[in-house]
Amino acid sequence: MSVMQEISSNVKNMKQLEYSLLAKWTKQIKEELRQGVKKPYKDVIDVSWGDPHRAGVKPLTFVRQVLAACLYPQLMDSDKLPVDVRQRAQRLLGKCAGGSVGSYTETPGIPNIVQRVSEFITRRDGGVPSNPKNIYISPGSQWALVNILNVLVNPEVSPRTGVLAPVPCHATTILSIMRQGAAVIPYYLSEEHGWALQVEELHRALELAKGVCSPVALYVINPGNPSGLVQSKKSMQDVIQFVSEKRLFLLADEVYQDCVFGENTKFVSYKRVLAEMGPPLSETVELASFHSASKGFMGECGLRGGYVELVNLDPAVMKCIYSLFSSDTCAPVLGQIALDLMTHPPQQGDPSYPLYHQEREQIRATVSQNVKKACEVLNSLPGFSCQPVEGGAFAFPRVYLPPKAVQKAKEEGMQPDTFYCIRLLEEAGVLTSPGYEYGQKEGTYHIRFCIMTHQEVMDELLRRLSNFHPKFMKDFS
């Protein structure tokens, strides 16, 4: 079996078997707790999702106030909401057909919101211009990615179309590539170098794909999910040179760009780096950059609001993309409004600014503290190794499982890190995800958990893990 087939098989098996095992046990344990069955814990800590609100992070007040006023305009007639909230809701409703969030919008999104997203990108990238005509608002970044893949991938050709994707990588994207009929070409991030993306590895992966598939695109995640890496500018320049030389389309997943915690670490977009490299690269490399209101400090996963900005695409391809995005009429209006609020938050001097700033900084400080404490605790436990988490929403530590644990997992028909996660769930009431779901080098095992949660929740999680892990290692030593 080839590496590509193995990755595809692993993802399919994980979604059908491994996840169902964890979901089944979680449901059973919660029901037992509800019935009063005594366990060493009173509740299940679920940090298996990249969903800040599920993990206990409270929504930003300003965001919910504007959404509430847009949904129920009568709220704007009272003084219970700050004046800037009422003004924003009034302006946004004025851009909706019929003054209602229940109306359809243009395919790319409400024009005024698309324009404001464009202004945000220009501001973020230090003045590099952004054309609103190249931006499409979508029901989440993954939905936009699927439509771009739909243009890039031809399921009828032989050999198959191929897309380079990182290992580890969230399974949703791998499944999206496979569903389009493309082959996944895995390239391994270097764990021993803090999950760095190394161009030498891209060359190795491409060489391996010869005769198996025809590569058309490179998918990168920055900041990393689940790796937590924030790419350096030099690394990004190397990647851009690589895709230019190999004539590949660059897919840049940048949804965690607001979540950067590493000291002396800063997010820079691929579009900005490309622009600063100048012609001919800045005029020829084809790029799609994805962002979302679901991730980061807003964490509005349920509102389904994302966008893609397209760079250097042929006008004929842009027409095709317009047709694909038109197939679902438009993105949810509340998701579009969330993007407006994300890209244009309250400014100093606005009535809502003090509370908004306080809530944002509190979330940032809590997550930074969670990152620091999680890495310290994990690296103090024998059999754990956690690389620095510079950004994103997850820790992805390696766990060195004893041979007896690996053997026991095989006897029970599951992956070793899934076996570890189930034992952690059963004995400590902590629900994490096995590294197997995201891909990992053969013979290595990991767990992933969300770090965007309350400090008290993280403290309790680490306390339970610290009690469970030594016992587990001893039981299988």
- 240 and 128 in a single domain? The answer is yes
Q: Is residue 90 one of the residues assigned to a domain?
A: no
Residues 108 and 164 occupy one common structural domain: yes
Q: 440 and 328 in one domain? A: no
Residue 70 lies in a domain: no
Residue 307 maps to a domain = yes
Clarify whether residues 333 and 367 are in a common domain.
no
pLDDT of amino acid 363: 93
CATH at residue 316 = 3.40.640.10
Residue 286 has pLDDT above 70, yes or no: yes
Could you give the percent of the chain with pLDDT greater than 70?
96
Q: Decide which of 343, 373, 405 is a domain's last residue.
A: 343
Residues 317 and 179 in one domain: yes
Of the residues 343, 369, 384, which one is the last residue of a structural domain?
A: 343
Q: Considering only CA atoms, which of 62, 15, 122 is closest in space to residue 434?
A: 15
> How confident is the model at residue 12, as a pLDDT?
47
**In this structure, are 370 and 322 located in the same domain?**
no
Residue pair 47/57 in contact (Cβ under 8 Å)? The answer is no
pLDDT digits (tens, 9 = 90+) for 167-196: 999 888 999 999 999 999 999 999 999 999
Do 334 and 362 fall within a single domain? no
Check: CB of residue 206 under 8 Å from CB of residue 185: yes
Number of domains making up the chain: 2
Q: Are residues 244 and 339 in the same domain?
A: yes
How many CA atoms lie within 13 Å of 238's alpha carbon, on the beta-carbon side? Answer: 13
Q: What percent of the chain has pLDDT over 90?
A: 84
**Residue 35 structural domain:** 3-56+357-475
In this predicted structure, the answer to whether residue 267 has a pLDDT above a threshold of 90 is yes
Mind listing the pLDDT tens digit for each residue in 57-86? 899 999 999 999 999 999 999 889 999 999
Among residues 275, 308, 343, which one ends one of the domains?
343
Q: Is residue 69 part of a domain?
A: no
- The token pair at 298 is 């807003």
Q: Establish if 92 belongs to a structural domain.
A: no
DSSP 36-95: T---S-SS-EE--SS-TTTTTPPPPHHHHHHHHHHHSGGGGGSSSS-HHHHHHHHHHHHT
Assess if residue 451 is contained within a domain.
Answer: yes
Q: Is the bond into 139 cis (omega within 30 degrees of 0)?
A: no
Query: Domain holding 412: CATH number?
Result: 3.90.1150.10
Count of beta carbons in the 10 Å neighbourhood of residue 251: 27
State mean pLDDT over 295-299: 83
Residue 4 has what pLDDT? 47
Give pLDDT tens digits for 233-264: 999 999 999 999 999 999 999 999 999 987 88
pLDDT computed for residue 381 by the predictor: 97
Instruction: Report pLDDT digits (tens) over 362-379.
Output: 999 999 999 999 999 999
Looking at the structure, do residues 321 and 445 belong to the same domain, yes or no? no
Confidence of residue 155 (pLDDT cuts 50, 70, 90): confident
Mean pLDDT of the chain: 93
Whole-number pLDDT of residue 17? 56
DSSP 8-state assignment for residue 96? S
Q: In the prediction, which pLDDT does 237 show? A: 98
Q: Are residues 330 and 384 in the same domain?
A: no
Decide if 246 is inside a domain: yes
In a domain, 35, yes or no: yes
110: which 2 tokens?
A: 């409400």
Alpha-carbon radius of gyration of the chain: 23
* Residue 314 reports pLDDT greater than 50: yes
Max CA pair span of the chain: 68
Residues 250 and 324 in one domain: yes
The pTM of the full predicted model, rounded to 2 decimals, is: 0.93
What does DSSP say about strands 398-399 and 287-292: parallel, antiparallel, or unpaired? unpaired
Q: Are residues 392 and 299 in the same domain?
A: no
